[in-house]
């Protein structure tokens, strides 16, 4: 049964969040809307549900340059630190930390290890009573694409079970629902419904060995890649006037350290490349990876520069490409202005200006939703 009072409070929180985002992005040519740009196709996020309004902020800069404006530099850093600390914490400590950053949690809730919740606005997450969430689940209420940011709340009602390794978008999960392991859920779930959309073909590719070789070079690359997985988008954003005016900031080794380390490994990169945390890069052939200007690599993406027979094969990513979280990028050539949806496996050639998903990835719609 939906608690209307709690639902109204969540909507109130979301309105407050929208006001704060608009204030932070003021003067950057950003505008907000509940529907998408006229004449453009609607995104997957907009199709999540008819009952909740998802706010889109168009014109935002790339995550590397605007995450601290969308969520606040120190506030987002604080939330991220709390969330990372909670992943391996004892259950009671985990719940306390979540509540500390605004997550609403009911009674008799069981949370597995390494559960990832939203860095930006975890206060828009509401979890009911008697809920079980398995290991390695991701609970998100935002979508950060190139030139666009979207936000809404995530509500998990009573008696819900979410099995391990699922990705849950900003949706409403109805009372008594069950989400089977390895599912990606980007639409509302009806009360009592069972959702199982896991893709065995994706798991086959994702679970393959991604780091090999016994040379010093591959060992060094492996350690650098592990360091990059824990670094945020841009540790010291010099775009903030106060920080930029400090004379020692430019000399700090943390300044865009992640991109510099990836270039050190041999990855060919253009400008304005944004790497989310937990990106896996092959330690043997990182020099076979090329990424074009203004591209975004999502959380947990795997770069594996091999063909399906295991032979080394270059990865060439064009300009203005968004790679969705936990996708597997194998030997391929991806054209400009391509969106790769969550948990896709990219093999072969992807033409420009389309959106793809699946294992292997295939076109799902026409024009880019955010360009």
- In this structure, the strands spanning 315-317 and 289-291 are parallel
CB atoms within 10 A of CB 34: 12
- Please give the angle made by the CA atoms of 188, 194 and 195, to the nearest 5 degrees: 60
What is the SS3 assignment for 58?
A: strand
| CATH code of 355's domain | 2.160.10.10
pTM for this structure?
0.86
Provide the percentage of residues in the chain whose pLDDT is more than 70: 85
**For residue 237, what pLDDT is reported?**
65
Are residues 125 and 117 in contact, defined by beta-carbon separation less than 8 angstroms?
yes
Q: Domain check: are 324 and 262 in the same one?
A: yes
Q: Domain check: are 180 and 232 in the same one?
A: no
Q: What is the mean pLDDT of residues 317-324?
A: 94
**For residue 330, what pLDDT is reported?**
95
- Please give the angle made by the CA atoms of 368, 72 and 126, to the nearest 5 degrees: 75
Which of 60, 115, 108, 51 lies closest to 274 in space, CA to CA?
Answer: 60
**For residue 37, what pLDDT is reported?**
47
Quickly list DSSP for 209-263. ------SHHHHHHHHHHHHHHH--S-SS-TTSHHHHTSTTGGG-TTTTHHHHHHH
CA distance 195 to 192: 10
Residue with tokens 């072969």: 348
Which residue, of 165, 198, 231, is where some domain finishes? 198
Length of the chain: 371
Q: Domain check: are 194 and 218 in the same one?
A: no
Does residue 130 fall inside a structural domain? yes
Which residue, of 198, 226, 243, is where some domain finishes? 198
* Residue 301 pLDDT > 60: yes
CA distance 131 to 317: 40
**For residue 209, what pLDDT is reported?**
67
Are residues 313 and 303 in contact, defined by beta-carbon separation less than 8 angstroms?
no
Cβ neighbours of residue 248 closer than 8 Å, sequence gap 6 or more: none
Q: Domain check: are 31 and 121 in the same one?
A: yes
Q: How many DSSP H helices and E strands does the chain contain?
A: 8, 30
Residue-wise pLDDT tens digits, 53-62: 688 888 888 8
Does residue 104 fall inside a structural domain? yes
**For residue 210, what pLDDT is reported?**
57
Are residues 191 and 157 in contact, defined by beta-carbon separation less than 8 angstroms?
yes
Does residue 370 fall inside a structural domain? no
Does residue 371 fall inside a structural domain? no
Average model confidence (pLDDT) for the chain? 85
* Residue 45 pLDDT > 70: no
Residue-wise pLDDT tens digits, 60-85: 888 888 888 888 888 888 999 999 99
**For residue 248, what pLDDT is reported?**
64
Does residue 303 fall inside a structural domain? yes
Which of 86, 74, 77, 79 lies closest to 102 in space, CA to CA?
Answer: 79
Which of 166, 164, 157 lies closest to 192 in space, CA to CA?
Answer: 157
**For residue 211, what pLDDT is reported?**
52
Q: Domain check: are 216 and 306 in the same one?
A: yes
Report the domain count for the chain. 2
Residue-wise pLDDT tens digits, 123-154: 999 999 999 999 999 999 988 888 888 898 89
Domain that holds residue 220: 205-365
Q: What is the mean pLDDT of residues 157-164?
A: 96
Q: Domain check: are 179 and 212 in the same one?
A: no
**For residue 29, what pLDDT is reported?**
83
Q: Domain check: are 194 and 212 in the same one?
A: no
Q: What is the mean pLDDT of residues 164-177?
A: 93
Distance between terminal CA atoms of the chain?
40
User: DSSP state, 286?
Assistant: G
Does residue 259 fall inside a structural domain? yes
CB atoms within 10 A of CB 262: 24
Q: Domain check: are 10 and 126 in the same one?
A: yes
Q: Domain check: are 177 and 260 in the same one?
A: no
Residue-wise pLDDT tens digits, 87-117: 989 999 999 999 999 999 999 999 999 999 9
Which residue, of 198, 213, 233, is where some domain finishes? 198
Q: Domain check: are 129 and 47 in the same one?
A: yes
Q: Domain check: are 56 and 182 in the same one?
A: yes
What is the SS3 assignment for 14?
A: helix
Residue-wise pLDDT tens digits, 207-260: 876 555 567 778 888 888 888 887 777 666 666 666 666 666 656 655 677 888
CA distance 362 to 111: 35
**For residue 59, what pLDDT is reported?**
86
Q: Domain check: are 163 and 211 in the same one?
A: no
């Amino acid at each position: 049964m939906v608690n209307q009072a709690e639902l109204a409070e969540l909507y109130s929180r979301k309105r407050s969040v929208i006001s704060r985002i608009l204030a932070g992005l003021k003067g950057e040519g950003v505008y907000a809307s509940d529907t998408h740009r006229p004449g453009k196709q609607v995104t997957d996020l907009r199709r999540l549900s008819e009952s909740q309004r998802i706010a889109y902020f168009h014109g935002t800069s790339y995550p590397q340059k605007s995450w601290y404006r969308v969520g606040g530099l120190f506030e987002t850093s604080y939330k991220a630190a709390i969330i990372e600390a909670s992943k391996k914490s004892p259950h009671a400590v985990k719940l306390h930390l979540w509540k500390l950053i605004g997550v609403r949690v009911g009674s008799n809730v069981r949370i597995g290890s390494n559960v990832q919740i939203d860095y930006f606005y975890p206060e828009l997450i509401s979890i009911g009573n008697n809920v079980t969430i398995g290991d390695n689940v991701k609970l998100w209420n935002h979508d950060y694409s190139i030139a666009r940011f979207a936000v809404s709340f995530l509500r998990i009602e009573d008696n819900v079970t979410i099995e391990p390794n699922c990705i849950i978008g900003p949706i409403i999960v109805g009372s008594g629902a069950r989400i089977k392991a390895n599912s990606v859920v980007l639409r509302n779930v009806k009360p009592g419904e069972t959702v199982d959309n896991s893709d065995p073909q994706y798991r086959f590719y994702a679970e393959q060995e991604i780091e090999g070789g016994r040379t010093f070079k591959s060992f060094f690359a492996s350690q650098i890649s592990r360091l990059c997985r824990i670094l945020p988008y841009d540790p010291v954003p010099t775009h903030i006037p106060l920080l930029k005016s400090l004379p020692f900031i430019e000399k700090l080794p943390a300044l865009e350290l992640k991109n510099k380390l990836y270039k050190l490994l041999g990855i060919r990169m253009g400008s304005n490349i944004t790497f989310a945390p937990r990106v896996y890069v092959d330690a043997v052939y990182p020099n076979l990876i090329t990424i074009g200007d203004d591209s975004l690599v999502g959380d947990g993406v795997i770069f594996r520069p091999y063909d399906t027979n295991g032979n080394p094969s270059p990865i060439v990513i064009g300009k203005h490409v968004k790679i969705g979280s936990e996708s597997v990028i194998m030997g391929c050539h991806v054209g400009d202005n391509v969106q790769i949806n969550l948990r896709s496996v990219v093999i072969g050639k992807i033409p420009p200006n389309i959106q793809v998903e699946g294992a292997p990835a295939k076109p799902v719609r026409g024009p880019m939703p955010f360009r």
